Amino acid sequence: MNNKNYIESSLELHLFFDRIMKEHSFFIEVAFTEKNDNLKKVANNFQMAFSNIQNRIINLANGNINTNTLMANDIVTNNTLNAERKTSELSGVNIDQNLTIKEMNLKPGNISVSEMLLNNIHTINRETLSLIEQLIQFKTDILNQVLNCKMFTTNYPLLIQHITNEARMYHDLLSKIENREQITNEYLYKQELFWNNIMKEHAEFIRGLLDPTEKSLIVTANDFADKYEAILNSQNLNRLTDASLKETIDFRNFKVVGEEAILNCKLKSIIIPLLADHIVREANHFIKLLRKYHNIPTPY
For the chain, the domains span 1-65+106-182, 185-300
Is residue 248's pLDDT more than 90? Answer: yes
Helices 80-91 & 273-293, crossing angle to 10 degrees? 150
* Whole-number Å distance between alpha carbons of 36 and 292: 43
- Same CATH topology for 1-65+106-182 and 185-300? yes
* Whole-number Å distance between alpha carbons of 289 and 296: 10
CA 285 and chain centroid, separation: 8
At 231, is the pLDDT very low, low, confident or very high (cuts 50, 70, 90)? Answer: very high
Contact 42, 83 (CB under 8 A): no
| DSSP type of residue 106 | -
Q: For domain 185-300, give the fold.
A: Ferritin (1.20.1260)
Helices (DSSP H) in the chain: which residue ranges? Answer: 3-31, 37-61, 67-71, 80-91, 97-104, 115-147, 157-178, 185-209, 215-233, 240-263, 273-293
| φ and ψ at residue 264, rounded to 5 degrees | -100, 10
Q: How many CB atoms lie within 10 A of CB 237?
A: 9
User: Average pLDDT in the 266-273 region?
Assistant: 97
Question: What pLDDT shows up at residue 112?
Answer: 87
At 81, is the pLDDT very low, low, confident or very high (cuts 50, 70, 90)? Answer: very high
Sign of the four-CA dihedral 87, 15, 284, 178: negative
* Whole-number Å distance between alpha carbons of 25 and 44: 7
CA dihedral 153, 159, 161, 165 (to 10 degrees): -140
At 235, is the pLDDT very low, low, confident or very high (cuts 50, 70, 90)? Answer: low
* Whole-number Å distance between alpha carbons of 217 and 221: 6
The mean of the pLDDT values for the chain is 95
Question: What pLDDT shows up at residue 185?
Answer: 85
More confident residue, 255 or 294: 255
Q: What is the CATH number of domain 1-65+106-182?
A: 1.20.1260.120
Contact 77, 126 (CB under 8 A): no
At 47, is the pLDDT very low, low, confident or very high (cuts 50, 70, 90)? Answer: very high
Contact 177, 10 (CB under 8 A): yes
